[in-house]
Structure 1
């Protein structure tokens, strides 16, 4: 058993099952004598619902995800080459391919509107950013991804006038404000999810501690009884030995 093998099993599970399964895997590694692996397993973070949905997409629909990531790679290459025609064509296809992947991810069920939005943002990030694409392909996301850099877009064929540039600047500022607000909201959600995860871990640790404390108490009670029986047996032995010596002395007279 190694960390990759355990992580693949854990990140295939729904978030509601993750913490208990992680505790069991860590305990199993410790029981096998691999304390280092046990500690590494214990550090694995529970995924958010949206991250789990994307992980599920990577496992259950690799073909559709590969199509999305391939389109993103070609889109980035077209932007680097300033190929306006290819970039325009790929941009048109992007909405269709991303929409298909998003619908498949949502089939996991139990996704709120906010989680669905995070799925879309994660897939968009995978299209425009190579590092995000690698994370999504691996299938072990713990939180949604968000790309805040400059995304490839169709190359304008004419220089916009001052009024149009002003409107575009205002739109860009508004977009950045929305992204900043969304980022803060995601951070709060991630903090809440992390806190909830640790609460569940705390409950699991408490239950385990109580179970072991009860077991120790039962063993200590049994040990006390065994010691009492040992003391009684020792006293009987001493009495018997004394009586036997006295009987032997009477016999020798």
Structure 2
């Protein structure tokens, strides 16, 4: 058993089953004598609903996901080559394939509007970023992905001098407003991630406290039984001493 194998099993589970299964896997590793693996298993984060939905798609809709990731490769290659025709064609295919896969994921899981939006956000990240694509393909996401860089888009055919022209004031204000909105969205996302981590570790703490309490009760019961057994052993030892002493006296009278 190794971490890769365990992670594969855990991230195939619904979020509601993850924590208990992770505890069981860590305990099994520790009982097998691999404390380091047990610690690494304990560090695996419980997936959000949207992350689990994408992980599930990586297993149950591998062909459709592979098609989307292939479109992403074409899109990135066209952008690197500054091929506007190829980039436009890949962009159209991206919309079609993303929409189809997103519907499959929604049909397979009862997602809230927020979770569905996070799924789309994760798929978009996998299209434009090769590292994100690799994470999605593995099917072991703990949280949704996002891409904050410049997303490939069709290349403008405008002359260079025109492209360098400063934007009108209203466009500049719109850009600033968009940046402020993106900043707020990022802060809200970070807050949501922090809250999710807190909830997860709160659940883990509650489970650890419950398990500790159960084991402490069991030890207390065993200690009481051991104390009683020791008293019975002492009584038996006393009877044994008396019996031996009396047997010796009886044998001496018999022989005398």
Q: Under a length normalisation based on structure 1, what TM-score does the superposition of the two structures give? A: 0.93
CA RMSD of aligned residues (A): 1.8
CA distance in 1, matches of 2:85, 2:57: 31
2:253 to 216, 226, 250: 250
CA distance in 1, matches of 2:38, 2:98: 38
Offset from partner CA, 1:231-251 (integer Å, 9 cap, x none): 111111122222223323433
Superposition map of 1:1-253 within 5 A: 1-158=1-158, 159=162, 166-253=169-256
Offset at residue 223 of structure 1 (A): 0.8
CA distance in 1, matches of 2:201, 2:28: 20
CA distance in 2, matches of 1:166, 1:131: 37
Q: Under a length normalisation based on structure 2, what TM-score does the superposition of the two structures give? A: 0.92
| CA gap 1:171/1:69 in 2 versus in 1, 3 angstroms | farther
**Counterpart secondary structure, 1:101:** helix
Tell which deviates more after alignment, 227-236 or 165-174: 165-174
| CA gap 1:87/1:171 in 2 versus in 1, 3 angstroms | farther
Tell which deviates more after alignment, 101-110 or 138-147: 101-110
| CA gap 1:74/1:171 in 2 versus in 1, 3 angstroms | farther
Offset from partner CA, 1:34-88 (integer Å, 9 cap, x none): 2221111111111111111111111111111111111111111111111111111
CA distance in 2, matches of 1:165, 1:117: 32
In structure 1, list runs of 5 or more residues that go unmatched: none
Tell which deviates more after alignment, 179-188 or 6-15: 179-188
Runs of 4+ in 1 over 4 A off after TM superposition: 160-168
| CA gap 1:105/1:166 in 2 versus in 1, 3 angstroms | farther
CA distance in 2, matches of 1:239, 1:41: 58
| CA gap 1:165/1:140 in 2 versus in 1, 3 angstroms | farther
How many aligned positions are there? 253
**Counterpart secondary structure, 2:18:** helix
